[in-house]
C-alpha cells in the first residue's frame, strides 16, 4: 500500500500550491515576493506519512546597495546575511575590503569604509631614498638618507586628497651627524 501525505509543512515567507503527495514524492515551495532562497526548496513524503523538513528557507532579499563615493558594489542585490563588496574607482583604494550587508529587515548596513585617493611615485629626495612606492590619502612614506648623509629629523612625504605628495619634510645633508648637533634645549 502506498502512503499519502497531506498538508505539507508551512514555510516562513514561502508557499506551495500542492496539498498532498504520495510516498517518495516531493512538493516544491516558492518564496514570497521580496524573498528568495539559495537553492530549490522541497519537502518529501515519507513512508510513515510524515513530511521531511523543507530543504532550505526563504531569506529577505535586499536590492540596490547603498552608494559609495568613488566606488561601486560588485552586485545589485543579496540575500539576508550576505554582503556586497565595493571596488574603488581608478586612482582610489581602501585600507580594507569595503562591504555592506543585507539585514533581515531588507535594509543594508552602511558601507564599512570609504575610498581614499592613492598617491604613487613619491617625490625623489636628493641623497635619500624610500622603499615605498605608494600610499593612501593621509598616509606618509619615510625616507632614509644615503651613506655619508643625515638629516636633523625624520623625513616624510604625505599623500594629499588631490593625489599629490607634500615636499619631503627635511633634506639629507653631507656629513651631518645628529650626535654632534648642539641644539638648544
Query: 152, 127 in Cβ contact below 8 A?
Result: no
Between β-strands 59-63 and 35-36, what pairing exists: parallel, antiparallel or unpaired? antiparallel
Q: In this predicted structure, what is the pLDDT of residue 95?
A: 92
* Whole-number Å distance between alpha carbons of 177 and 185: 18
Cell numbers given for 30: 516558492
pLDDT score recorded for residue 175: 77
Mean pLDDT of 129-137: 94
Strands (E) across the chain are located at 4-6, 14-15, 20-22, 26-31, 35-36, 41-44, 59-63, 71-73, 77-79, 83-88, 92-93, 98-101, 116-120, 128-129, 134-136, 140-145, 149-150, 155-158, 173-174
For residue 159, give every residue at least 6 positions away whose Cβ sits within 8 Å of its Cβ, in sequence order, or none: 117, 118, 119, 135, 136, 137, 138, 139, 140, 141, 165
Do residues 78 and 61 lie in contact, with contact meaning Cβ atoms separated by under 8 Å?
Answer: yes
pLDDT confidence tier of residue 182, bands split at 50, 70 and 90: low
pLDDT at site 47: 94
Q: Which of 59-63, 167-171, 177-181 has the lowest mean pLDDT?
A: 177-181
- Residues of the chain with pLDDT > 70, as a percent, come to 95
pLDDT value at residue 1: 77
- Residues 35-61 have a mean pLDDT of 96
Closest CA to 139 of 120, 154, 152: 120
What is the rounded average pLDDT of the residues 7-33? 95
Does the structure show a pLDDT above 60 at 149? Answer: yes
The percentage of the chain sitting over the pLDDT mark of 90, rounded to a whole number, equals 91
Taking residues 157-163, report their average pLDDT.
96
Residue with cell 561601486: 72
Rounded CA separation 27/31 (Å): 13
What the chain holds in terms of domains, given with CATH numbers, is 4-57 (2.10.70.10), 61-114 (2.10.70.10), 117-178 (2.10.70.10)
Q: Average pLDDT, stretch 35-44? A: 96
pLDDT for the residue 2 = 83
- Given pLDDT bands bounded at 50, 70 and 90, which one contains residue 183? very low
Amino acid at each position: 500500500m502506498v502512503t499519502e501525505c497531506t498538508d505539507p509543512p508551512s514555510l516562513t515567507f514561502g508557499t506551495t500550491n500542492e496539498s498532498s503527495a504520495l510516498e517518495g514524492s516531493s512538493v516544491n515551495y516558492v518564496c514570497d515576493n521580496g524573498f528568495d532562497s539559495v537553492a530549490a526548496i522541497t519537502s518529501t513524503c515519507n513512508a510513515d506519512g510524515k513530511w521531511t523538513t523543507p530543504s532550505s528557507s526563504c531569506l529577505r532579499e535586499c536590492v540596490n546597495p547603498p552608494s559609495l563615493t568613488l566606488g561601486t558594489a560588485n552586485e545589485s542585490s543579496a540575500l539576508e546575511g550576505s554582503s556586497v563588496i565595493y571596488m574603488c574607482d581608478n586612482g582610489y583604494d581602501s585600507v580594507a575590503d569595503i562591504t555592506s550587508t543585507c539585514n533581515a529587515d531588507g535594509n543594508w548596513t552602511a558601507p564599512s569604509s570609504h575610498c581614499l585617493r592613492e598617491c604613487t611615485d613619491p617625490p625623489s629626495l636628493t641623497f635619500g631614498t624610500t622603499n615605498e612606492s605608494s600610499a593612501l590619502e593621509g598616509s606618509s612614506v619615510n625616507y632614509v638618507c644615503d651613506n655619508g648623509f643625515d638629516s636633523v629629523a625624520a623625513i616624510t612625504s604625505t599623500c594629499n586628497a588631490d593625489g599629490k605628495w607634500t615636499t619631503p619634510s627635511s633634506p639629507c645633508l653631507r656629513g651631518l651627524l645628529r650626535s654632534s648637533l648642539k641644539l638648544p634645549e
